[in-house]
Structure 1
Amino acid sequence: MKRIQPTRRQFLAGSAALGAASFAGLKPAFANVDWKKYAGTTLEVNLIKSPRGDILQKYQKEFEELTGIKVNSEQTPEQQQRQKAVIELTSGKPSFDVIHISYHVQKRQFEKGGWLADLTPFLKDPSLTEPSLVESDFAEAGLAFAKDKNGRFGGLPFSVDYWILYWNKELFAAKGIEYPKSFDELVSAAEKLTDASKGTYGFVARGMKNANTPVWASLMLGYGKSAIDDGNLQTDTPEAIQAATLYQRLMTKSAPPGVTGFNWAECQSSFLQGKVAMWLDGIGFAPPLENPEKSRVVGKVGYGVMPKGPAVQAAPTFGDGIGVTEGSSKKEAAYLYCQWAISKEMGARLLQTGSGVPFRNSILNDPEVRKGVTMPSEWVDVLTASAKVSQLCLPVIVPVTEFRDVMGVGLTNLLGGADPATEMKRATEEFRPILARSEGK
C-alpha cells in the first residue's frame, strides 16, 4: 500500500483537512487542543541518545510549527544523561523542561526525588489533551512504569523495548543450524558458529561494566528468577549463578575479542559487519540492520523471541517515558511536547521505522499503521510474540545504577576467568547494604 504523506499545511489544519491524506492511516486529533496557546515559548528538551531520540529530533520542526513553541533538544548517551539528570534535578533548577526517562533505571529514583511534575491534571484537561489520549489506551507495562503507587502520572509512557535475539540467517544456513529454541541450543549454536580463524563469532552481547547487567538479568529470567523478589536479593541464588555461568560461557567461548568494552553500539556494529551470528539486545536497535548504507547483512537478518530457559520463556522488558520536570516554569507547554511525542502520528513513525514500540494499543492494533511498517514482517511477529511472554528485567529500585555497577564488576570479572559463584556472592553482599539504605531499613 502506498503511504501518502500530508503536507505541512494539511498537518497543521487538523483532522478535518487531512481526510485521505492522513499519515499512515491516522487522522490527527490535534485540532481539539489549543496548540497555539503557548506560542513564543522556548523549551529545553533532554533526550537519551537512541533511535527514539532520533525520531523526536527528526520531526521536531512539525511540533514547532504546530505550536509556535521553539524547541532546543539535545541527545546524550544514556549513562552520561542519567548522571546529568541527577545532578541537575537534585539542584531543583534543571536546565531542561522535558526529560526522556529510562523507566527501568530511573523510575523509583525520580519518584523519590519528586523530580517530575504530576501530569494527571493535564491529562484530564480537554484544552490540553486530545480526546484519544486516555489511560485505557496504554499497555499495562506502560502504566506500571508511568504511575506511582498513588496513581500519579510522573511522565507519559513512550516506548517499550523487548530484548530479542538478532541472528544472521546466512551464517546459520552455511552450518546447517536451526534457530535456537532453548538456552542449551543457544550455547550449542554459538559455539558451532564460532571460527576465530575466519573472524566469525557465534554470539555477542554487552560486556562493558554496568551495561552487561541487563544481559545476565535477562538470562536469569529464563531460570525463573528476578534479581529482587519481594525486597529480597536473589542474585546469589543457584539460578543467578547458573545464569552468570551461562553468560561467562557465551561471552568467553563465542564472542569477539575486546567484548569487555562492548556496549550496545559496539555489539550492533559487529553484527552489522556480518561477522557475528547472534546478538542479544533491544528490538529498537533494528533499523540500521536493514539499511544498505550501514549494513552488510540486509536481507539476512532473523528476528527471534528470547529462547526458553530451563524454567520459563521470558522476553526481558524495558521501557522509556517522557516527562516534565517539577522545576520547569513552562509545564503546560512542556506537556504539549510530551503529548506530541507519544501521539499516534509519532508512535506510528516509531513503529514503522523499527525505532521503537509505542505503549499505545490504538497504534499497535491499527492495521493501517502495520501496513506502513518498513521492517520485515518477522520483526512485527517477534514484537507480538515477545509481548505475550514479557517480564520486567531490572528491579524497580532507587539504586538501579549502583546495582548495575556492582553486579557489572562481577560479570566483567567472569570474562577474565573468575568463578561465577564467588563473584555473584561477593557482589550480592556488596550491594545488600546499599539496597537496605535505599529502602530505609
Structure 2
Amino acid sequence: MKKLIALVAATTLAATGCAGAGSFGGDGGGKTITVAIVSNSQMADAISLAPEFEADNPDINLKFVSLSENEARAKITASVATGGGEFDVVMISNFETPQWAANGWLTNLSEYADATPGYDENDFIPTLKDSLSYEGSMYSVPFYGESSFLMYRKDLLEAAGITMPTEPTWDQVADAAAKLDQPGMSGICLRGKPGWGEVLAPLDTVINAFGGRWYDENWNAQLNSPEVVKAVQFYVDLVRTHGQAGAATSGFSECGTQLAQGQTAMWYDATSAVSVLEDPTSSNVVGKIGYAKAPSAAKSDNGWLYSWALGIPKTSENPDDAWKFVSWMTNKEYLKKVGNELGWSRVPPGSRLSTYEIPEYKEAAAAFGQVTLDSINGADPNKPTVQPVPYTGVQFLTIPEFQDLGTRVSQQISAAVAGQKSVQDALDQAQQYAEVVGKTYQEGQG
C-alpha cells in the first residue's frame, strides 16, 4: 500500500512558491496525485481516511497540500490561472468554479460523473449544484455545502428569559447580545478578520438584510450609501460593544473555538460549524446549542450559499486518477464512512440530499439538519438584495475583481472593527476601490 504524503503548510507561502512544511511517509511508487486542500476539520478527516482510498487504489499515491483559507485561495488561483500544473485536484468554491470554467481552466466533471456508476450527480442539493455548474455541467463537485445561521446557547437564553425566534431579526439578536454579555462571556462572536472570505462573508449578508448593495444596476458603487453605512455601523457597533475580545483578528476558527469552549453566548456564521460544535471531542457545549435562520431586517432569507468543492485543473496530467479520488471523497459512501468511523456529527454537511435521509445522521442532526437544508435551499445568489444588482452572489460578487476588491474592502472594515478608523471613513475608502472596478464594467457596456 502506498503511503500517504501530507504536506501541511504552517507558514504564509508566496503564491508562486512551493507549498508544504513537513511530510509523512511516501515510498514514491505509482502515480502521485497532488491535492490542494483548505485546512479545516472536515478536510483533516478526509486526510485521515485517505489511506483507505490508497489501499483500494495501490497505483495512486496521494500528496496533500493543506493551506489556510486565505493562503489556499492565493496559491490555487495563481497556479490554475497561470497553468502552473502543480495540482491534480484543487479545493475551490462556487465563487471560482463558474468563472474558471468559462475561462477553460477546469475539467468538465459531469462527463466523469455520468460514467461513474452510483455517483448520482442529481443527488446534490439543487442550489449548490447550480452554483458549481457552467452551461449545464458541473466543473467542481461539493465536498460540503453551507449557508449561514445563528447559533446560540439555549441554556443561557433560557436563564435570561430570552426566547429566540426561528427567524430572528438583527435587532432581536442585538438585544439578546446585550443581555447575555457578561465578564468571561461575550454576548456574540462575529468575524472581524480581514479577507473577502472572512469578515465580508457574514457582513455582506447583513448589508443585504439592511437593504444595501455593492453596486446599482449601472455599476455605480454604493458602499457609502445610507443602507450600507447603517448595516456596517450596526455590525461594527455590535461586535465592539458586545462581541469577543480581539474581534479584528477573529475569523471562523476563532469564533468556533469561542462558542465550543463556552466563552460566547451566540455566533452568526456558517452552518458547517456544527461539525465542531456538536462533536464531544472538540466542544464543551454539545446539545446546548440552538439554531435559527440568518437574521433579517429589510430582507429575510439572508443565509449565504457556499461550498468547498473539488475540481480538476485542465493542466492535470492524470485527470482519470484525479477523478477517482474526487469521486471517492464526494460520493454517498464517503459520507457514511465518516459517520460510521468518525461519528455522525462529523459528516460533511449540506452537499447531498440523501445525507438527510440517513437515520443515524437524522438523529445526530436533529437540532440543525432541517434549518441547514432550509437555509441552503432558501439562498438565492441570483437575487441577493432588496434592490436590483448587476452581479450574482450572496456573500460575494461573482466577478474576477472581487478577490482583490473584497480583500481591500475587508481591510477597511477590519480597521473599523479594531477602532482604528470610523465606519464612515472605512466605507468612503471602500467606495473609492469599488468605483474603480465599477467603471471597468460601465466602459464595457458603453
Q: Would you say the 8 A contact 1:51–1:356 is kept in 2?
A: no
| Letter of the 2:145 counterpart | V
1:183 matches 2:185: no
For residue 73 of structure 1, give the secondary structure of its aligned residue in structure 2: strand
Instruction: Report the Cα offset of residue 254 of structure 1.
Output: 0.5
Match of 1:236, SS?
Answer: coil
Distance, in Å, in 2 between the alignment partners of 1:410 and 1:323 is 32
Query: Which piece of structure 1 moves more, 329-338 or 294-303?
Result: 294-303
Contact 2:304 2:376 in 1 (8 A): no
1:383 to 348, 372, 384: 372
Is 1:145 aligned to residue 131 of structure 2?
A: yes
Are the equivalent residues in 2 in contact too, given 1:399–1:435 (CA < 8 A)?
Answer: no
Gaps of 5+ in 2: 1-28, 381-393
Picking from 327, 330, 347, the partner of 1:339 is 327
**2:285 corresponds to which residue?**
297
Please give the secondary structure, in 1, of the residue aligned with 2:368.
Answer: helix
Partners of 1:439 and 1:335 in 2: CA distance = 40
C-alpha RMSD of the superposition: 2.6
- Which one of 350, 362, 375 corresponds to residue 354 of structure 2? 362
Shift of 1:58: 2.5
- CA displacement at 1:78 relative to structure 2: 0.9
Measured in 2, the distance between the counterparts of 1:244 and 1:412 equals 11
Q: CA deviation at 1:321?
A: 1.4
Residue 229 (structure 2) aligns with: 241
Write the letter of the residue equivalent to 1:360: R
SS of the equivalent of 2:267 reads strand
Aligned partners of 1:76 and 1:162: how far apart in 2? 22
Q: Secondary structure at the match of 1:62?
A: helix
1:329 corresponds to which of 301, 307, 317: 317
Are 1:279 and 2:282 matched, yes or no? Answer: no
Asked whether 1:434 is paired with 2:445, we answer: no
Question: Which of residues 361, 382, 390 is equivalent to 1:372?
Answer: 361
Residue segments in structure 1 that go unaligned for 5+ positions in a row: 1-38
The Cα of 1:329 is off from its aligned counterpart by 0.6
TM-score, normalising length: structure 1: 0.81
From 148, 151, 154, the equivalent of 1:166 is 151
Matched ranges for 1:115-134 at <5 A: 115-124=105-114, 126=115, 129-134=116-121
Q: Describe the shift of the 1:373–1:403 C-alpha distance in structure 2 as closer, same or farther (beyond 3 A).
A: farther
Q: Percent identity?
A: 21
Could you state the TM-score of these two structures normalised by the residue count of structure 2? 0.80
What is the identity, as a one-letter code, of the residue corresponding to 1:280?
A: Y
**Pairing partner for 2:68 from 77, 81, 89:** 77
C-alpha deviation, 1:278, in angstroms: 0.6
Give the residue type in structure 2 aligned to 1:326: K
Q: Distance in 2 between matches of 1:355 and 1:406?
A: 35
| Counterparts of 1:292 and 1:156, CA distance in 2 | 29
The answer to whether structure 1 residue 44 and structure 2 residue 34 are counterparts is yes
* 1:59 and 2:46 are equivalent in the alignment: no
- Evaluate the alpha carbon distance shift between residue 355 and residue 408 of structure 1 in structure 2; reply closer, same or farther with a 3 A threshold: farther
Distance verdict in 2 for CA 1:389–1:121, change over 3 Å: closer
- Partner residue, 2:241: 253
Give 1:194 deviation, angstroms.
Answer: 1.1
Distance 1:294 1:371, change over 3 A: closer
C-alpha distance in 1 between matches for 2:42 and 2:441: 31
Deviations 1:361-414 (A, max 9, x none): 3333x3xx1433563411113213323432432211112322321221221232
**C-alpha distance in 2 between matches for 1:440 and 1:111:** 24
CA distance in 1: counterparts of 2:347 and 2:213, whole angstroms = 27
> Which residue in the other structure is 1:12 paired with?
none
Tell me the residue number matched to 1:14: none
C-alpha contact 1:354 1:374 (8 A) present in aligned 2: no
C-alpha change, 1:250 and 1:431, in structure 2 (3 Å) is same
Give the counterpart letter for 1:176 in structure 2: G
Aligned residues: 392
Q: Does the residue aligned with 1:430 lie in a helix, a strand or coil?
A: helix
Aligned residue in 2 for 1:103: 94
Match of 1:156 in 2: 141
Tell whether 2:423 aligns with 1:420: yes
Q: Is the 8 A contact 1:167 1:278 kept in 2?
A: yes
What letter is aligned with 2:204?
A
Q: Would you say the 8 A contact 1:111–1:154 is kept in 2?
A: yes
Report deviation, 1:279: 0.8
Give the CA deviation at 1:347: 3.4
One-letter identity of the residue aligned with 2:46: L
Which one-letter code corresponds to 2:170 in the other structure? F
Indicate the SS of the match to 2:175: helix
The answer on whether the counterparts of 2:146 and 2:350 sit within 8 Å (CA) in structure 1 is no
Contact (CA 8 Å) 2:186, 2:265: kept in 1 or not?
yes
Shift of 1:423: 2.6
Q: Could you tell me which amino acid in structure 1 is paired with residue 351 of structure 2?
A: F
Matching residue of 1:220: 207
SS in 1 for 2:91: strand
Contact 1:226/1:393 (<8 A) preserved = no
Distance in 2 of aligned mates of 1:378 and 1:115: 40
The separation in 1 between residues aligned to 2:435 and 2:126, in whole angstroms, is: 30
Residues 117, 342 of structure 1: alpha-carbon distance in 2 compared, 3 angstrom cutoff? same
Q: CA, structure 1 residues 40+230, in 2 after alignment: closer, same or farther (shift >3 Å)? A: farther
Q: Which residue matches 1:319?
A: 307
